């Protein structure tokens, strides 16, 4: 008995019951298609998070004040005032892996132009900040070192501010009032869109940090430090250097806890990737269950089919079919069912993914891995769930099978 004959026999047996074969395959088709779609959506969202995060700069590093201890009492992070401008100077001196570093001070409030107002955040930064956060200057100019030195009342605004407060008119040269401080708009930031968490990155005003510190917040400390590593490979070195520099300028002894936190964008990307990995795994598991149910459907039908075709099996045995031939026939039937179902399911899944992508405008990524895996799982299901009914068929006694009513 050769395999070509086994396949031919199995194929003609399936052809005799086309509709039932289709119904049996339907479980696998739906299972495979949903696995493909779910994985595509999961991986798509992971990729889009990664893309957007790296759009913010993958070599971005933040330092924020951390838990401060005063006589054994831990203070809240937000009130900590332990980051100073001297820390920035120290970082510039001590950290060769850092290319740019900027202080960051923030304030939230209403920005007013004429009779319009809009709630937004003002960022006080230095000239290098644009480079660090990958902001571009769309029109106008950035502020200069001398403007920083002189607490100049100048600022740049994001696109969202322009849309909400100026409409069609050119904002450059106009004055915007923020907490009653009039600021001259000298430039407009290039559009950046939303970040990975859905925050509008264009809804902000940027001003020299000195201006925000002295004129708006009336503070001398800084709220956080933004820096960028000279290259992505130097990320880890940069984190270590910043940590060392801050520890020494804060005069922390060995064994003392850091009174600041250093976070890198790469870490954030990793964190969000792992969240969407979990989501992908969940979606995959749910659709995997439907694939399993499809497999059980195949087993069920094959089992019924063996009983229903007992006389056929008896006949095949009587004309010289061996137990193994019968086993192969039923096994190949179930493998064909699941593999055909798998191929149809994969095509359907890819189609459904494209439709989802175009209608819902969700990001999707169909990986070769998920297609290959779906296919292998299908074949495995065919063998696994076909085996038991096929064994049953092969073990039939020809005399009993021939007389079966």
Partner 1 sequence: MKRTIIEVRDLKKVFHVGEITVHALKGINLEIKEGEFVAIMGTSGSGKSTMLNVLGCLDKPTSGSYHLDGISMGELSKNELAGLRNSKLGFVFQSYNLLSRTSALENVELPLFYNSKVRPKERRERAEAALEAVGLTDRMHHMPNQLSGGQQQRVAIARSLVNDPVVILADEATGNLDTRTSYEIMALLQDLNSKGKTIVFVTHEPDIAKFMTRQVVFRDGHIIREEYVTERNNAIELLKSLPVEELV
**Binder among 5, 69, 110, 240 for partner 1 (CB under 8 A):** 5
Please state, in angstroms and rounded to a whole number, the distance separating the CA atoms of residues 281 and 287.
10
Please state, in angstroms and rounded to a whole number, the distance separating the CA atoms of residues 287 and 384.
19
Which 310-349 residues touch partner 1, going by CB under 8 A? 311-312, 314-325
Q: Tokens 């859905």, residue?
A: 198
Contact at 8 Å (CB) between 183 and 177?
yes
Q: What is the x/- site pattern for partner 1, positions 11-50, by CB under 8 A?
A: -x---xx---------------------------------
| Burial of 220 (C-beta count, 10 Å sphere; 0-12/13-18/19+) | exposed
Please state, in angstroms and rounded to a whole number, the distance separating the CA atoms of residues 196 and 221.
29
Q: Of the ranges 4-12, 81-89, 178-186, 338-346, which one interacts with partner 1 (CB under 8 A)?
A: 4-12
Quote the least distance from Cβ 388 to partner 1, whole Å: 21
Q: What is the DSSP string of 90-118?
A: HHHHH-TTEEEEEEEEEEEEEEEETTEEE
Quote the least distance from Cβ 26 to partner 1, whole Å: 21
Cβ distance to partner 1 smaller for residue 2 or 180: 2
Which 55-84 residues touch partner 1, going by CB under 8 A? none
A 10 A CB-CB count for 325 gives 16
Site size toward partner 1, by CB under 8 A: 25
Q: Of the ranges 1-9, 148-156, 282-290, 348-356, which one interacts with partner 1 (CB under 8 A)?
A: 1-9
Cβ distance to partner 1 smaller for residue 285 or 399: 399
| Residue 9 within binding range of partner 1, rule CB under 8 A | yes
Quote the least distance from Cβ 321 to partner 1, whole Å: 5
Beta strand 116-125 with 181-189 is: unpaired
| Burial of 88 (C-beta count, 10 Å sphere; 0-12/13-18/19+) | buried
Cβ distance to partner 1 smaller for residue 141 or 403: 403
| Residue 398 within binding range of partner 1, rule CB under 8 A | yes
**Residues at the site binding partner 1, with contacts judged by CB under 8 A:** 1-2, 5, 8-9, 12, 16-17, 311-312, 314-325, 398-399, 402
């Amino acid at each position: 008995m050769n395999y070509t004959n086994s396949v031919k026999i199995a194929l003609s047996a399936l052809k005799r019951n086309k509709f039932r074969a289709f119904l049996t395959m339907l479980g696998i088709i739906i299972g495979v298609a949903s696995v493909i779609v779910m994985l595509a959506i999961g991986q798509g969202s992971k990729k889009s998070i990664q893309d957007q995060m790296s759009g913010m700069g993958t070599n971005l590093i933040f330092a924020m004040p951390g838990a401060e201890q005063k006589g054994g009492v831990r203070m809240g992070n937000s009130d900590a005032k332990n980051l100073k401008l001297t820390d920035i100077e120290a970082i510039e001196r001590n950290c060769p892996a850092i290319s740019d570093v900027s202080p960051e001070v923030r304030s939230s409030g209403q920005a007013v132009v004429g009779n319009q107002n809009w709630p937004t955040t003002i960022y006080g930064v230095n000239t290098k900040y644009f480079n660090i956060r990958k902001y571009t200057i769309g029109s106008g100019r950035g502020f200069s070192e001398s403007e920083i030195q002189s607490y100049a009342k100048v600022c740049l605004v994001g696109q969202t501010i322009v849309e909400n407060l100026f409409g069609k008119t050119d904002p450059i040269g106009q004055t915007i009032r923020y907490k009653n401080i009039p600021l001259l708009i000298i430039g407009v930031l290039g559009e950046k869109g939303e970040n990975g968490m859905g925050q509008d990155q264009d809804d902000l005003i940027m001003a020299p940090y000195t201006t925000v510190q002295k004129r708006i917040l009336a503070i001398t400390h800084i709220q956080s430090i933004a820096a960028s590593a000279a290259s992505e490979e130097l990320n880890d070195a940069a984190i270590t250097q910043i940590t060392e520099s801050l520890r020494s300028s804060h005069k922390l002894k060995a064994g003392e806890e850091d009174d600041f936190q250093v976070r890198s964008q790469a870490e954030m990307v990793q964190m969000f990737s792992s969240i969407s990995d979990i989501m992908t795994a969940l979606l995959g598991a749910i659709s995997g269950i439907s694939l399993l149910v499809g497999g059980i459907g195949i087993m069920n039908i094959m089992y019924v089919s063996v009983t229903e075709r007992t006389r056929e099996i008896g006949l095949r045995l009587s004309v010289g079919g061996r137990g193994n031939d019968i086993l192969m026939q039923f096994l190949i039937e179930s493998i064909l069912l699941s593999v055909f179902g798998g191929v149809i399911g994969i095509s359907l899944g890819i189609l459904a993914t494209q439709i989802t992508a175009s209608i819902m405008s969700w990001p999707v990524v169909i990986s070769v891995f998920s297609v290959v895996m779906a296919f292998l799982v299908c074949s495995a299901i065919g063998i696994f769930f076909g085996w038991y009914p096929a064994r049953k068929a092969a073990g039939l006694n020809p005399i009993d099978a021939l007389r079966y009513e």
